[in-house]
């Protein structure tokens, strides 16, 4: 079990060695159908039994979960420790985001793009030694970005050797993943992937200048966002050039079941390249369909929340039919990828506007359900699949004996009502139960500031 400083005990609701969760509905993360009236027993942070008739050890804390659902802790594969706004610019969220992730049921994250990797490495250490609370963090190195338009805090690679040098340095500093970005060339990307693999590290990417099939041929491990960042289908795409943003209507006639798209999907599957679904951030392009979530405005700093609410209100009348079609095509691409045997994880990209830590991950579940995945499939995508991509599925990602007790208790049934994913009653990480109301109250009005 994780140690926690006395000053942080306000965020801990359960710190008992042996706990029995009884009469629970369980969606265990393996893709199997929900089970009812299940007892989960865990001891010193490890799951011991998951059964209808599990014996309850003497001295265990017994919690009756009648009417509630337990899922594994969410594994956020595309999450960040920063938020950008028109009011304050991009800022690190080292105080608010860890608590908000945990309060939302996200117990593991990969940051998938870092402003300052040292901050994230230090934050990870602070969490694991009990100096603060939050999810397990897999930090990524600085963005692997080529020259061109982009945030000024990104280093711009000049040569393939420059890419190798950056990867070598941060590999030695302990960063396990790297993220390539929109302006990188094929030569730079190939060099970065080769160097990362030499050090036992992996590379993912939000691409534009390089197409998905090109990245697969270079040996990439993971691809972010899906269809709407794969420019190989854009008319007139030039090698190593990120085309200017196009009209979303270009997706109207793209046939997901056609030979060209299927060739990309099959290449990814054949080469074991995983993909990260980020439907919640894609939805920002069709904001008239985004449901109002008052929790977002409670969490945002007041001046930022006011600006975001102005954007949201004005967007309800926006003509975004083409963007809605593009989102549906992205959903179809993900369904086709999974049907072909692809490994799909999920993350929220909590970068901006209404897309913030934790709540965006929950929105992903609703959108995966809308995309046609069953509740058990959506849970698996957001838990066990993410753990597999990170290489930690022997420890977390599903509710089975022997694994770490990373569990989320929901006050409802997301298998019949997807929005119940928002009703987080309790979160356990490594057997420690966290106080969701206290965590949520602690970030009130802070997101966007710190």
Residue 2 pLDDT > 80: no
**Which pLDDT tens digit goes with each residue over 239-279?**
999 997 766 667 878 999 999 999 999 999 999 999 999 99
Give dist(CA 340, CA 344) in Å, integer: 11
Distance CA 147, CA 152 (A): 11
Question: How much of the chain, in percent, has pLDDT values that exceed 70?
Answer: 97
Q: What pLDDT digit, counting tens, does each position of 92-104 carry? A: 999 999 999 999 9
- Is the confidence at residue 288, as pLDDT, over 80? yes
Tell me what the pLDDT averaged over the chain comes to.
Answer: 95
Region 131-155 average pLDDT: 90
Helical ranges in 55-116 per DSSP H = 96-103
pLDDT for 248 equals 64
pLDDT, average across residues 280-299: 96
Q: Are 315 and 287 within 8 A, CB to CB?
A: yes
17-30 pLDDT tens trace: 999 999 999 999 99
Within a 13 Å sphere around the CA of 402, how many CA atoms are in the beta-carbon half?
3
Residue 216 token pair: 């697969």
The two structure tokens encoding residue 361:
């991950």
The pLDDT value recorded for residue 6 is 62
The pTM (predicted TM-score) of the whole model is 0.96
pLDDT in tens, 102-121: 999 999 999 999 999 999 99
More confident residue, 152 or 239: 239
Torsion angle, alpha carbons of 71, 133, 141, 196, to 10: -60
Separation of alpha carbons 184 and 157, rounded Å: 8
Domain architecture of the chain: domains with CATH: 6-71+398-442 (2.30.40.10), 74-390 (3.20.20.140)
11: enclosing H helix or E strand: none
Name the CA radius of gyration of the chain, rounded. 21
Query: Do 400 and 97 meet the contact criterion of CB atoms below 8 Å apart?
Result: no
Which phi and psi (to 5°) does residue 136 adopt?
A: -70, 130
Closest CA relative to residue 142, chosen from 159, 109, 120: 120
């Amino acid at each position: 079990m994780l140690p926690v400083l006395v000053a942080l005990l306000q965020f801990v609701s359960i710190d008992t060695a042996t706990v029995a969760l009884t009469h629970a509905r369980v969606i265990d993360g393996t893709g199997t159908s929900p089970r009812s009236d299940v007892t989960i027993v865990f001891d010193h942070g490890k799951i011991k039994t998951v059964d209808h008739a599990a014996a309850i050890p003497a001295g265990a804390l017994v919690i009756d979960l009648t009417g509630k659902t337990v899922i594994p802790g969410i594994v956020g594969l595309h999450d960040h420790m920063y938020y950008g706004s028109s009011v304050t610019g991009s800022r690190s969220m080292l105080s608010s985001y860890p608590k908000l992730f945990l309060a939302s049921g996200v117990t593991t994250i990969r940051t998938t793009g870092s402003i300052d990797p040292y901050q994230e490495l230090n934050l990870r250490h602070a969490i694991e030694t009990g100096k603060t609370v939050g999810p397990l963090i897999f930090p990524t190195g600085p963005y692997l970005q080529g020259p061109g338009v982009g945030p000024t805090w990104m280093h711009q690679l000049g040569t393939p050797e420059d890419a190798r040098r950056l990867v070598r340095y941060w590999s030695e500093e302990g960063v396990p993943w790297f993220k390539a970005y929109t302006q990188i060339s094929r030569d730079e990307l190939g060099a970065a992937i080769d160097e990362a693999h030499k050090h036992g590290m992996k590379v993912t990417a939000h691409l534009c200048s390089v197409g998905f099939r090109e990245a697969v041929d270079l040996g990439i491990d993971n691809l972010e966002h899906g269809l709407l960042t794969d420019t190989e289908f854009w008319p007139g795409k030039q090698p190593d050039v990120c085309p200017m943003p196009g009209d979303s209507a270009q997706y109207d006639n793209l046939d997901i079941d056609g030979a060209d798209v299927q060739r990309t999907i099959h290449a990814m599957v054949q080469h074991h390249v995983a993909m990260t679904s980020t439907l919640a951030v894609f939805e920002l392009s069709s904001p008239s369909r985004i449901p109002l979530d008052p929790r977002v405005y409670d969490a945002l700093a007041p001046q930022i929340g006011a600006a975001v609410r102005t954007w949201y209100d004005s967007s309800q009348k926006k003509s975004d039919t083409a963007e809605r079609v593009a989102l549906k095509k992205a959903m179809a691409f993900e369904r086709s990828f999974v049907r072909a045997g692809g490994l799909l994880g999920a993350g929220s990209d909590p970068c901006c506007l209404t897309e913030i830590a934790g709540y965006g991950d929950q929105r992903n579940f609703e959108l995966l359900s809308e995309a046609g995945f069953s509740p058990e499939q959506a849970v698996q995508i957001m838990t066990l699949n993410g753990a597999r991509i990170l290489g930690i599925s022997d420890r977390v990602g599903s509710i089975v004996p022997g694994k770490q007790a990373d569990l989320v208790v929901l006050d409802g049934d997301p298998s019949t009502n997807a929005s119940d994913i928002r009703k987080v009653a309790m979160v356990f990480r490594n057997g420690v139960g966290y106080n969701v109301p206290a965590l949520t109250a602690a970030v009130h009005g802070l997101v966007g500031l710190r």
